[in-house]
Structure 1
Amino acid sequence: MQNQHPPRHRRRRIGFAVGTPLALIAGGVLAYGTAFGVFGDEARPRAGAATVPADASAAVAAMQPGWNLGNSLDAVPDETAWGQPRTTKALLKEVRAQGFKSVRVPVTWSDHQGAAPGHTIDAAYLSRVKEVVDWALAEGLYVIIDVHHDSWQWTKAMATDHDKVLARFEATWNQIASTFRDAPAQLVFESINEPQFDHADAARKAELLDELNTVFHRIVRTSGGGNENRLLMLPTEVCTPDPQLMRHLAATIKSLNDPRLIATVHYYGYWPFSVNNAGVTRFDATVEANLTKTFKDINDTFVDQGIPVVMGEYGLLGFDHGPGAVERGEMLKYFEAFGHAARTNKVTTTLWDNGAFYDRKALKWKDAGLFRQISSSWTTRSGTASSATVFVPKSGPLKDRTLTLDPNGATFKSLKQGTTTLVKDRDYTLTGNNLTLKATTLTRLAGDRSPGVNATLHAAFSTGVPWRIQVRTYEKPLQANAAGTSDTYAIPTHFRGDVLATMESTYADGTAAGPLDWTPYQQFNTTFAPDYTQNTINLTPAYLKTLKDGQRVKLTFHFWSGTTTTYYVTRSGETVSGSTS
């Protein structure tokens, strides 16, 4: 369905001569604010909006924290094509109310441009982008706009089609710069999202990215108005925080000799943990070390050298693919540590949200507890523990269970169930950081031991968000034989209170079976996914169609209780059969 765009706004074009005092430009480009008035009250600047500091590092600090309007104006071919509703002024008002200081508005221009040589951007689309930007600016938010999925749609061909790609890139940014030349200084331009280049070696890729960033800088700086001093963001290749790629970008920034430049990278964590493959299900020492090193490299390469950094996207890739890929407690630990690392290394962060975090129709967080942890990490640390769940068996006497606390510099204060404070030495003991729930307490909390969560506790610390501990009853899951096809196959599974962690897949000789041939542990949600409502584990076509025809595959399902089950599947042509033995 074709989007309905609002009529293009009329506005005055007000430029600034060379030598205009920076304070006037950095103060919000007052003339543009006056121009807002001809659009009506919905675009009027927010009263008391802060001015933009003249120092770029201070300005970037003022942008913390940030949020991405993902899968909207970057969606292909139009704003609602990827499942998100049309962006509203009310949404941006709520984003500001949640404590965000900046919003990144990814924009894909490809499907809204004419042919060469002009590559004219559709007036209605440009007007729509401007409308969303103006709404965000009116709320007092910093706003980042970019050239987004164009990076893999056409700029990636630059190595083999250099002149045409460069001409289109120049045409695109000439039009964007002209449209927003008089916008307040709170508007930031980002040259290109996750730039990539086919058919080029590392050295050539570095040259091409340097050329794009340099051309972008020249176009914006010579377009007049507020663009003469606007904050500009330049990315590494694919926005990867690799030390060598960051050094290349630092060299480009230094060569431009412009104090209003920002470096940008993205970070989605240690990849096997981020997507749940290779058996990496926990926020362990390896995952944490990767996070710590990444931020240290960012700090050493940019921040300590006077180059401010906006992490334009962060999150966990598995979370975007659906629930369950990253266990909630392990995810909370990741975001807690991430916020601390960003804060101590002076990196402004912009949460990637494609609709997974914030419900843009209901205007509320899908997981309010997760957002509390994320937002708390902007200012302080929170205590965590070795697990967020204590699994208790369905039958038999219960035993004491110990969790290891990680206070993260805070002090343990109390353990509560709702408003009831549990009593130390009666209900639990605390020896160092070992929190032990007594068998009598677990027996009481588990009640009749119905499968699933029986009780929820909260361990409070001197700072941050209390750590939630669920008491969950389980029995070993039961599975049954089933037949299906390589397009649709589900293993009947009665979970009986347990929760799936990961899946191993091997042939008879022990080699990996599935799209990942370097590890038997296949990727959560993209190859297999539990459906707790329907009592099935679904194997995806992306997994099944990679299996060798006629060869039996052993599946080992690992559950968070520590239990495992074994299942066997065989693909014969398009038919799939499965059994428990």
Structure 2
Amino acid sequence: MRYQPSRLLLAVPLALTLLIPTTAAQAERPEPASLTAVETVAAMQPGWNLGNTLDSMCCGEDETSWGNPMVTEELMEGIRDQGFNSIRIPVSWSYNTGPAPDYTIEPQVLDRVEEVVQMALDEDMYVMINIHHDSWQWLHEMPTDHDNVLARFDSIWSQVADRFKDYPPELVFESINEPFFEGASGPEQENELIAELNASFHEIVRGSGGGNEDRLLVLPTLHTSSDQDHLDALAAEIEALDDPMLAATTHNYSYWPFSVNIAGKTTYDEEVQGYLEGDFARLHDTFVSKGIPMIIGEFGLLNGGFVAVEYGEAMKFFEHFGYLARTNDITTMFWDNGQYFDRKEFDWQVEGLYDYLSESWTNRSGTAESDLLFVDPSEAGADQAITLNPNGLQFKSLYHGDRKLKPGRDYVVEGDTLTLKASLVDLLLGDGAPGTREQLSVRYSDGVPWTLNVIASDTPVLEDATGTTDAFAIPTEYNGDMVATLEATYEDGTGAGPHDWTVYKEYGVAYDPDYANGVFKLTPTFFDAVTDGAAVNLTVHFRSGKTVAYTVTKNGTAVTGTA
């Protein structure tokens, strides 16, 4: 994954035991030297990325330059204790190589990479290292500077291959991260260039001797994309190389409009699910079904804090992702740049995320149409219904804290519809003050219980406001509700603001709800793309389904807003 400062298992019984994150299962792993490529990749499931660390070493700074602590043996032990069987260690070499023609890697950098690799191997994990951010720092210039780029690429891999040639087969090499090429004549040339790099990488490593003669090598598609044309191109490369110890790799950050919340994609709906299912089907049909192991080397959501993507909708994605990986025999490596697993306290920073990740390695979990059930004061005394998504499981019970609720009296389940009785809702929400929230636990026959937040909410109120294009905040009474998306149009109905191909703006880029301070902010980025003097009609869509209309007008740097 590119850093922004702002931001297969085949049906082998042995491989299946490797999915279970227990000491016993890990201890049963066979000697790597005896494993095929398919078995090796199966043994790597599940995997984790040490993101924004060895790929952050730049300009004399060390691996802490992007905010993460130094890697320690305790961190590696902590990751292993979470049940991860492999670790991808992205490494950027750009600022740590000497001039042409040798491009000598600074000894202390290569030594540190080796030290971190050894820490992971000592914890009995598979390790994958690569050339990482170099893809956008210099390697993308290959169409216009072919010979120099290829020479630098070859030199780096020659040095890395030589340093690690006597390392055990648990060490895996990945040729390049997210390759792309600027100035290419088109996709045909781009695929020719990545094929040339992959072939050169393959020749260098295999020719370096030692354990590199049959070490697992991982080759990416162009852009690490799962588009069929890129998959076909890589499949042809692998066939031409005729090497049984090769694997393919792509990345997956879900359907982009959902992953960043733009174009009105605020939920993990059928379209978003279909995108993911299609992705996995293509990977399976192109590679796995033909005996070529497949690794999704990075996966996650681009909005890592689960704000733009609502928490429950994000958990649906991770649950479904793990299920599809397991049923399509694909190994996955979770992208973590320090946002998720706390590298100092060695625990998870997003409550529940690890539960869904780890459970998906072996089981499904049931969900529901939402984890938010908003109750308007006008609905006091009424039953409340929500649709369950059992995902092949059976509804078992409903809890409020430690109290098991009684069917018939507190709730009714008919088919996949859970209806909370009015008496229960009134008891939960008390006087119904906006923002009052109680949690119920929907328990299925297996998997992670689904948390249902029952929330008292009234229609939000946005007030008139004045400000500037650099600082415009609308005083807002959210009344217990949450923003889903923002619609912005001119009088003729065309889209206003950035990304004018859609009337629905990107969460956190064009607008930013600030619940703690009771304001709704429109960003400078939004106003930069607004026509001066034109009225922009806003519709703020809330998670409850309610909408509120508002109008803003920009005159120079001055902005006025009216409800």
Q: TM exceeds 0.5? A: yes
Tell me whether 75-84 or 125-134 shows the greater mean CA deviation. 75-84
Question: Residue 295 of structure 1 aligns to which amino acid in structure 2?
Answer: F
Q: How does 1:368-383 map to 2 (within 5 A)?
A: 368-383=351-366
Q: How does 1:45-124 map to 2 (within 5 A)?
A: 51-52=31-32, 53-75=34-56, 77=58, 78=61, 79-124=63-108
Secondary structure of residue in 2 paired with 1:318: coil
Question: Residue 369 of structure 1 aligns to which amino acid in structure 2?
Answer: G
- Contact kept, 8 Å, 1:50 with 1:140, in 2: the verdict is no
Q: 1:5-44: CA deviations, max 9, x gaps?
A: xxxxxxxxxxxxxxxxxxxxxxxxxxxxxxxxxxxxxxxx
Alpha-carbon separation, structure 2, partners of 1:237 and 1:490 = 42
Alpha-carbon separation, structure 1, partners of 2:104 and 2:473 = 49
Tell me whether 365-374 or 532-541 shows the greater mean CA deviation. 532-541
Tell me whether 289-298 or 115-124 shows the greater mean CA deviation. 115-124
Tell me whether 233-242 or 359-368 shows the greater mean CA deviation. 359-368
Q: 1:542-576: CA deviations, max 9, x gaps?
A: 22212112222122111111111222222333333
TM-score (norm 1): 0.89
Name 1:520's counterpart in structure 2: 503
Q: How does 1:491-570 map to 2 (within 5 A)?
A: 491-570=474-553
Alpha carbons of 1:131 and 1:574: their partners in 2 closer, same or farther (altered >3 Å)? farther
Alpha-carbon separation, structure 2, partners of 1:173 and 1:522 = 43
Aligned-residue offset at 1:51: 2.6
Instruction: Say whether 1:152 aligns with 2:136.
Output: yes
Alpha carbons of 1:87 and 1:415: their partners in 2 closer, same or farther (altered >3 Å)? same
Alpha carbons of 1:427 and 1:194: their partners in 2 closer, same or farther (altered >3 Å)? same
Name 1:20's counterpart in structure 2: none
Name 1:215's counterpart in structure 2: 200
Tell me whether 216-225 or 176-185 shows the greater mean CA deviation. 176-185
Name 1:9's counterpart in structure 2: none
Secondary structure of residue in 1 paired with 2:433: coil
Q: Give the % identical residues.
A: 50
- Contact kept, 8 Å, 2:37 with 2:244, in 1: the verdict is yes
Name 2:268's counterpart in structure 1: 283
Q: 1:337-384: CA deviations, max 9, x gaps?
A: 111111000000001112222222332111231210111011011111
Tell me whether 490-499 or 511-520 shows the greater mean CA deviation. 490-499
- Contact kept, 8 Å, 1:91 with 1:363, in 2: the verdict is yes
Q: 1:298 aligns with which of 242, 263, 283?
A: 283
Instruction: Say whether 1:246 aligns with 2:231.
Output: yes
Secondary structure of residue in 2 paired with 1:313: strand
Q: 1:118-144: CA deviations, max 9, x gaps?
A: 111111111221111111111111111
Secondary structure of residue in 2 paired with 1:334: helix
Q: 1:454 aligns with which of 424, 433, 437?
A: 437
Question: Residue 318 of structure 2 aligns to which amino acid in structure 1?
Answer: F
Aligned-residue offset at 1:451: 2.9
Alpha-carbon separation, structure 2, partners of 1:487 and 1:76 = 34
Q: How does 1:134-533 map to 2 (within 5 A)?
A: 134-200=118-184, 201-319=186-304, 322-394=305-377, 397-533=380-516
Aligned-residue offset at 1:389: 1.4
- Contact kept, 8 Å, 1:453 with 1:470, in 2: the verdict is no
Alpha-carbon separation, structure 1, partners of 2:52 and 2:495 = 34
Q: How does 1:16-27 map to 2 (within 5 A)?
A: none
Q: 1:128 aligns with which of 112, 115, 128?
A: 112
Alpha-carbon separation, structure 1, partners of 2:161 and 2:370 = 50
Tell me whether 443-452 or 118-127 shows the greater mean CA deviation. 443-452
Alpha-carbon separation, structure 2, partners of 1:556 and 1:55 = 56
Secondary structure of residue in 2 paired with 1:359: coil
Aligned-residue offset at 1:409: 1.1
Alpha-carbon separation, structure 2, partners of 1:292 and 1:450 = 42
Alpha-carbon separation, structure 2, partners of 1:364 and 1:384 = 24
Question: Residue 156 of structure 2 aligns to which amino acid in structure 1?
Answer: T
**Count of matched residue pairs:** 533
Secondary structure of residue in 2 paired with 1:255: helix
Q: 1:141-164: CA deviations, max 9, x gaps?
A: 111111111111111111111101
Question: Residue 279 of structure 2 aligns to which amino acid in structure 1?
Answer: T
- Contact kept, 8 Å, 2:429 with 2:438, in 1: the verdict is yes
Name 1:35's counterpart in structure 2: none
Question: Residue 385 of structure 1 aligns to which amino acid in structure 2?
Answer: A
Q: 1:247-295: CA deviations, max 9, x gaps?
A: 1101111111111101000111111111111001111111111111110
Secondary structure of residue in 2 paired with 1:125: helix
Name 2:8's counterpart in structure 1: none
Alpha-carbon separation, structure 1, partners of 2:431 and 2:75 = 44
Q: 1:295-341: CA deviations, max 9, x gaps?
A: 0110000000110011001111122xx44111111111111111111
Alpha-carbon separation, structure 1, partners of 2:30 and 2:436 = 46
Aligned-residue offset at 1:48: 8.6
Name 1:571's counterpart in structure 2: 554
Alpha-carbon separation, structure 2, partners of 1:345 and 1:217 = 27
- Give structure 2 stretches of 5+ with no counterpart: 1-25
- Contact kept, 8 Å, 2:509 with 2:523, in 1: the verdict is yes
- Contact kept, 8 Å, 1:385 with 1:404, in 2: the verdict is yes
Alpha-carbon separation, structure 2, partners of 1:576 and 1:153 = 39
- Contact kept, 8 Å, 1:392 with 1:398, in 2: the verdict is no
- Contact kept, 8 Å, 1:447 with 1:454, in 2: the verdict is no
Question: Residue 31 of structure 2 aligns to which amino acid in structure 1?
Answer: T
TM-score (norm 2): 0.92
Q: 1:460-505: CA deviations, max 9, x gaps?
A: 1111111110111112222223333333332222212111111111
Alpha-carbon separation, structure 2, partners of 1:259 and 1:239 = 21
Secondary structure of residue in 2 paired with 1:577: strand
Alpha-carbon separation, structure 1, partners of 2:464 and 2:306 = 26
Tell me whether 561-570 or 148-157 shows the greater mean CA deviation. 561-570
Alpha-carbon separation, structure 1, partners of 2:101 and 2:556 = 50
Q: 1:206-258: CA deviations, max 9, x gaps?
A: 10010000000011111111111111100000100111111110111111111
Name 1:24's counterpart in structure 2: none
- Contact kept, 8 Å, 2:53 with 2:66, in 1: the verdict is yes
- Contact kept, 8 Å, 1:382 with 1:463, in 2: the verdict is yes
Alpha-carbon separation, structure 1, partners of 2:539 and 2:42 = 47
Alpha-carbon separation, structure 1, partners of 2:302 and 2:292 = 27
Alpha-carbon separation, structure 2, partners of 1:220 and 1:557 = 55
Name 2:19's counterpart in structure 1: none
Aligned-residue offset at 1:396: 5.6
Alpha-carbon separation, structure 2, partners of 1:394 and 1:214 = 66
- Contact kept, 8 Å, 2:306 with 2:314, in 1: the verdict is no
Alpha-carbon separation, structure 1, partners of 2:436 and 2:328 = 39
Secondary structure of residue in 2 paired with 1:317: coil
Tell me whether 330-339 or 85-94 shows the greater mean CA deviation. 85-94
Alpha-carbon separation, structure 1, partners of 2:379 and 2:195 = 66
Alpha-carbon separation, structure 2, partners of 1:348 and 1:383 = 23
- Contact kept, 8 Å, 2:132 with 2:177, in 1: the verdict is yes
- Contact kept, 8 Å, 1:382 with 1:466, in 2: the verdict is yes
Question: Residue 577 of structure 1 aligns to which amino acid in structure 2?
Answer: T
